Amino acid sequence: MKNFKLKNLVFVAAITLVATATVVLPTKASAAWRQADNGSWSYSDGDAAISGWKSINGNWYFFDSNSVMKTGWVNDGGKWYYLASSGEMKTGWISDGGKWYYTNPSGDMQTGWLLNNGAWYYLNSSGDMQTGLLELNGKTYYLSDSGAMKTGTVTINGVSYTFGQNGEKVTASTANQNTTTSTTTTSTSSGGSGGSGGSSSGSKNNDTDSSYEYLYGTWTVGDLVYKGSKDDSIESYVGEQFTVSKDGITATLPIVGVTTINPTIKESSMTASEFKSKWKISVSGNTVKRLHISYSGYSADMYITEDDTKYVSVKGALFELQ
């Protein structure tokens, strides 16, 4: 009888020990978003922190080696991806910093020629959509303000261009008009870019025709003040020279090389605060003079401050003139 009772006591003790051990086993944590004191977000999948790509509720997110969710442009494996402010990877047309980009269904940014909704677009090596006249591999194309490649006849600042069905320029001749018009026929639609990829000038005054005698002389493109894009080739403009005289402006154009042109120049002004907002630098005085220079599809802006410092903007970048 004693042995029977002892066996019962041992059995009860064993059951109690197992139950106690079961109670104290840690519970697996559930997946959850967490926000740090600095505002950054991370995501844990149970007990494990996440790094790299993670699909959550049908959306793709990217986490760095510290498990912090990334936003904006991210380079992974040599490819660029765009993540919204909420972290989701975006696809299709993306407007960022006044420029248009395109990411394919896998999310990686596209460069070169792109066929989208029946229209051809060209995205440079930095991914931003191009507009206007484009020289590529010795051939010339025209891309509308929406970025879509045009065919047929296009007239720009008095020069009439004819483009074949493949978009390549066939002929160019002088027309009897100075405004930009288009009588283009095309087998492609304008596509779905949703915008021109351009940016506002910030001018508060109506543009007026300007004479530019006070700019006569030879100018050198100096320091890069504001880059404005990921395009490292923009720095190649440093050291370039152009000459302003009564005969026009002598400069190097991508399609025709060194030439003297008589461009259209429109003068306007902007406040110093507007200039700072656009180019991220402060200037002396309250007003900045702006000269918009355009010729046959090419354009640039010159800025002159009240202390006579001069700047030129090309492809969204700002340089100081010397």
Mean pLDDT of 315-322: 84
- pLDDT at residue 88, as a whole number: 92
Single-letter amino acid code for the residue at 54: K
Neighbours of 150 (CB within 10 A): 22
CATH numbers and ranges of domains, the chain: 32-90 (2.10.270.10), 208-321 (no CATH)
* pTM (global) more than 0.85: no
CB 63 within 8 A of CB 52: yes
* Six token digits for residue 181: 């018009």
Q: CB-based burial of residue 246 (10 Å sphere; 0-12 exposed, 13-18 middle, 19+ buried)? A: exposed
Task: Encode pLDDT of 251-281 as tens digits.
Answer: 765 544 566 677 788 888 889 888 888 888 8
Q: Which of 20-34, 66-80, 165-179, 266-280 has the highest mean pLDDT?
A: 66-80
- pLDDT at residue 297, as a whole number: 64
Neighbours of 163 (CB within 10 A): 23
- pLDDT at residue 182, as a whole number: 40
Transcribe 71-108 into DSSP letters.
-EEEEETTEEEEE-TTSPBP-EEEEETTEEEEE-TT-B
Reduce the DSSP state of residue 33 to 3 states and report it. Answer: strand
Task: Report whether pLDDT(188) > 80.
Answer: no
Task: Encode pLDDT of 196-243 as tens digits.
Answer: 333 333 333 445 555 567 677 787 888 888 887 767 777 777 888 878
CA distance 187 to 223: 44
Single-letter amino acid code for the residue at 19: A
Question: Beta partners for 75?
Answer: 80
Task: Encode pLDDT of 7-41 as tens digits.
Answer: 555 555 555 544 444 444 444 445 678 888 888 89
Reduce the DSSP state of residue 23 to 3 states and report it. Answer: helix
Which one, of 125, 105, 318, 292, lies nearest residue 210 by Cα?
292
